[in-house]
Structure 1
Amino acid sequence: MSVIPNQRHLFDIPDDVAYFNTATMGPMTTASVEAGKAGLARKLQPWSIQDTDFFADAARLRPLLAQLIHADTDGIAFVPSVSYALATAAANISLAKGQEILVLEDQFPSNVYVWRALAESTGAQLKTITRTGSSTLSDCLLNEIGPNTGLVACAHIRWTDGALVDVAAVGKKCREFGAAFVLDLTQSCGALDFNTQNVQPDFVAVAGYKWLLGPYATGFLYAAPKHRSGRPLEQNWITRKGASNFARLIDYSDEFGAGAERFDMGERSNFALLPAFESAVRTILDWGVENVERTLRTRNADLSQSLNSVGVLCPPEAERGPHYLCPLLPDSAPEDLTARLKAEGIFVSRRGDRLRITQHLFTNDKDTNRLVERLAYFLRS
């Protein structure tokens, strides 16, 4: 592993912009945008689009997505959103009346509503895990997994405060009790190394527009081997065997393509989004996820010390993702703090009583120095 030098030259970020909001929306590189433009331009002359073009982009991208999470290519499906991926998971998980579905306090809404609906339709009970005392969030979750647990659904990194879940330990305990395990990696994939083989989740959902630096409405689903003969949300033509033979599409087939391809969303052959997403994923893989993680850990360690020195206290690294800083704001913090920072070209987000600071490889020392200095000023004034 190595620390990656600053990569701002790959992005269209002016010198007077300090962007610390990757957890909301990761910026695309100029190369990804150009790839998307070139893909979209194919629709200027649709007669130039070949039958094979409906399959080529997906065929190149699917193994790259598998590589991101150390999974096999057959386990990857294309989805437009995490909510789509989680709905697919919910449609393929069996629960008995009275079993518990465990979620975390302050979990992202899309990762709660779907389980509320599943609990209602199956008679299962939704149980929210809260961190108590000095215990970590992971410890509190692990303590609740037992014989009555039917499903654990959570994120690797909690979006509000960057709290890190020990997903390998959770996966192991789920297997001990025969519980399903569904993970949302949207706030970690591309910035925090994840090994599907070590964790062994049933399903993994990822949105591509945050830490993967891809376009909006891109993402993927991983399905474990035992779920790959499951029920897709849609019955679309392109996921069937023989779909590449356009002349014989009316030879209707009940057989699907390999593995999790049956779960692919309709119109997956998006000529604009897939090339842009592919470019983004290739950039992440070229950097190396472990190298990105190490670089952001190093930069955030320095930034955390600087923030602590001006009274903005960050959680210790052991409790958070190394790419995530969510310091607790003092009671005196102005309500319009993020608006004041934005007016000076500094972009962060606020989640409750925490300031969410999520830099990436485009962030430089000038940016971090400005953030600390202006924060200190606004908290004094």
Structure 2
Amino acid sequence: MPLTQQKQLFNISEDLTYLNTASFSPAFKSVEAAGIEGMKQKSNPELRQASDLFEPVVALRKLFAQLINEDDYNRVVTLPSVSYGMANVANNIELKDDDEIIIIEEQFPSNYYIWEDLAKRYNAKIVTISQPETIEDWNASLLEQINPKTALVAIGHIHWANGYTFDLKAIRAKTKQNNALFVIDGSQSIGALPFSIKDIQPDALICAGYKWLFGPYGCAYGYYGSYFDNGKPIEQNWANRLGSENLAGLTAYQSQYKPKANRYAMGESGSFIYVKMQTAALKEILKIKPSELQEYCHNISHKVLKELSDLGFTSTHPDFRAKHLFGVKIPEFVNVDDLKAALKANNIHLSFRGEYMRVSCHIFNTEAHFEKLVNVVKSVIKA
């Protein structure tokens, strides 16, 4: 059966039109309940066991591994942020003079500043692939730029402002041909857009957990491939060392890390409140097939996007962008401040990114929300 709207799973008021999951997701009721349960457990610390710091984290990592189609959960860690995960990547890359790092125009800052710093450290070069006049050619422009001097390609699965989808398979093939690393920011796609580690085989995938994975703010996930198996983490915490589950023996200091990606886990990764909420969230997300979510989001939005296009508010053709997140280009004749004020007055929440009005939707949204959006746009134009 096709996916249907499931607003009943959330505590969202009837008068709210929330089209901003790409910024912050609302909480499933089950996630809210898990957080409350975790807070209550804080009041009874005597009931906690040492294993509570480890076993729930392993269970959580297994859920994320399942989500990205990775068989080995030891390649997955929980993180506090995308910038933290990217810092672990950069900490284990050495470059040569004039090596090139490829990124995309107007990339999210957490996937830019770290590479700017790395390039400066090694006198390497940042190569930014600008959005071409015909956006459909963006993949071709990127692929053309990958060459023997390319050391790293670090991009999002989709562009965070307009939803343009990059051809990860083709990029992975070209980076392998040129012995370059491939690092993906999956913050705006994992859980909402079909993705498989087995198909893409990136060197690293870092993903925020508070957007399309519906976790609390301050959580993220990381996948680290074999290139990073013997790397150096950016912090030295007790829990990522071998045998750390034996709390009585912690001062028998251990030089070895736990295997594979475990070394990149943050300190206090066993935060029982966050882990409970994240676990509840991933269980909900795993019930939803990304391909079906894409179809659902397209079905509730495509008619209104055609109307908006007729009004001068254009978006990329659905064949070249995600359906859960897309940018609607604001025409020059529209006063953006007036548009923002009208949206606020009508309790419509979305984001403005550059020249785009960024719209993002999920199973709590309906076609009526998009109809309300287009009616507000019409009122601004008319005024």
TM range (shorter): over 0.9
Are the equivalent residues in 1 in contact too, given 2:324–2:360 (CA < 8 A)?
yes
Whole-angstrom CA distance in 2 between matches of 1:152 and 1:220:
19
Q: CA deviation at 1:335?
A: 2.3
Q: Identify the residue that residue 120 of structure 1 maps to in structure 2.
A: 120
Q: Identify the residue that residue 108 of structure 2 maps to in structure 1.
A: 108
Amino acid across the alignment from 1:377: S
Greater shift, 304-313 or 106-115, is seen at 304-313
- Distance verdict in 2 for CA 1:156–1:252, change over 3 Å: same
Matched, 1:168 2:156: no
- Distance verdict in 2 for CA 1:303–1:279, change over 3 Å: farther
Q: CA deviation at 1:19?
A: 0.4
Q: Identify the residue that residue 382 of structure 2 maps to in structure 1.
A: 380
Whole-angstrom CA distance in 2 between matches of 1:225 and 1:298:
40
Unaligned runs of 5+ in 1: none
Q: Identify the residue that residue 277 of structure 2 maps to in structure 1.
A: 276
Deviation string, structure 1 residues 57-89 (Cα, Å, up to 9, x no partner): 201100110111112312101111000011011
Q: Following superposition of structure 1 onto structure 2, how do residues 167-206 of structure 1 map, counting pairs within 5 Å? A: 167-206=168-207
- Distance verdict in 2 for CA 1:129–1:359, change over 3 Å: same
Amino acid across the alignment from 1:171: R
Q: CA deviation at 1:256?
A: 1.6
- Distance verdict in 2 for CA 1:101–1:11, change over 3 Å: same
Whole-angstrom CA distance in 2 between matches of 1:285 and 1:306:
33
Whole-angstrom CA distance in 1 between matches of 2:15 and 2:163:
27
Q: Identify the residue that residue 332 of structure 1 maps to in structure 2.
A: 333
Whole-angstrom CA distance in 1 between matches of 2:157 and 2:244:
36
Q: CA deviation at 1:312?
A: 2.0
Q: CA deviation at 1:240?
A: 1.3
Q: Following superposition of structure 1 onto structure 2, how do residues 46-85 of structure 1 map, counting pairs within 5 Å? A: 46-71=45-70, 72-85=72-85
The 3-state SS of whatever aligns with 1:204 is strand
Greater shift, 363-372 or 198-207, is seen at 363-372
Deviation string, structure 1 residues 281-323 (Cα, Å, up to 9, x no partner): 1101012223222322333333322322443222101221121
Matched, 1:311 2:312: yes
Q: Identify the residue that residue 368 of structure 1 maps to in structure 2.
A: 370
Are the equivalent residues in 1 in contact too, given 2:242–2:254 (CA < 8 A)?
yes
Q: CA deviation at 1:369?
A: 1.5
Amino acid across the alignment from 2:352: R
Deviation string, structure 1 residues 89-126 (Cα, Å, up to 9, x no partner): 10112221111011111011111110011011112111
Q: CA deviation at 1:151?
A: 0.6
Scaled by the length of structure 1, the TM-score of the pair is 0.96
The 3-state SS of whatever aligns with 1:230 is coil
Q: Identify the residue that residue 10 of structure 1 maps to in structure 2.
A: 9
Q: CA deviation at 1:158?
A: 0.9
Q: Following superposition of structure 1 onto structure 2, how do residues 122-141 of structure 1 map, counting pairs within 5 Å? A: 122-134=122-134, 136-141=137-142
Q: Identify the residue that residue 147 of structure 1 maps to in structure 2.
A: 148
Are the equivalent residues in 2 in contact too, given 1:304–1:325 (CA < 8 A)?
no
Q: Identify the residue that residue 38 of structure 1 maps to in structure 2.
A: 37
Whole-angstrom CA distance in 1 between matches of 2:142 and 2:103:
8
Q: Percent identity at matched positions?
A: 34
Q: Following superposition of structure 1 onto structure 2, how do residues 211-290 of structure 1 map, counting pairs within 5 Å? A: 211-290=212-291
The 3-state SS of whatever aligns with 1:181 is strand
Are the equivalent residues in 2 in contact too, given 1:300–1:325 (CA < 8 A)?
no
Are the equivalent residues in 1 in contact too, given 2:161–2:326 (CA < 8 A)?
no
Greater shift, 236-245 or 126-135, is seen at 126-135
Are the equivalent residues in 1 in contact too, given 2:100–2:149 (CA < 8 A)?
yes
The 3-state SS of whatever aligns with 2:222 is strand
Are the equivalent residues in 2 in contact too, given 1:338–1:347 (CA < 8 A)?
no
Amino acid across the alignment from 1:200: Q
Q: Give the count of matched residue pairs.
A: 380
The 3-state SS of whatever aligns with 2:325 is coil
Q: CA deviation at 1:247?
A: 0.8
Amino acid across the alignment from 2:359: I
Deviation string, structure 1 residues 299-353 (Cα, Å, up to 9, x no partner): 3333322322443222101221121221111112222212321221111111122
- Distance verdict in 2 for CA 1:11–1:256, change over 3 Å: same
Scaled by the length of structure 2, the TM-score of the pair is 0.96
Whole-angstrom CA distance in 1 between matches of 2:301 and 2:176:
34
Whole-angstrom CA distance in 2 between matches of 1:81 and 1:6:
30
- Distance verdict in 2 for CA 1:349–1:54, change over 3 Å: same
Deviation string, structure 1 residues 129-154 (Cα, Å, up to 9, x no partner): 11234352211111100111111111
Amino acid across the alignment from 2:83: S
Amino acid across the alignment from 1:122: Y
Matched, 1:97 2:134: no
- Distance verdict in 2 for CA 1:5–1:282, change over 3 Å: same
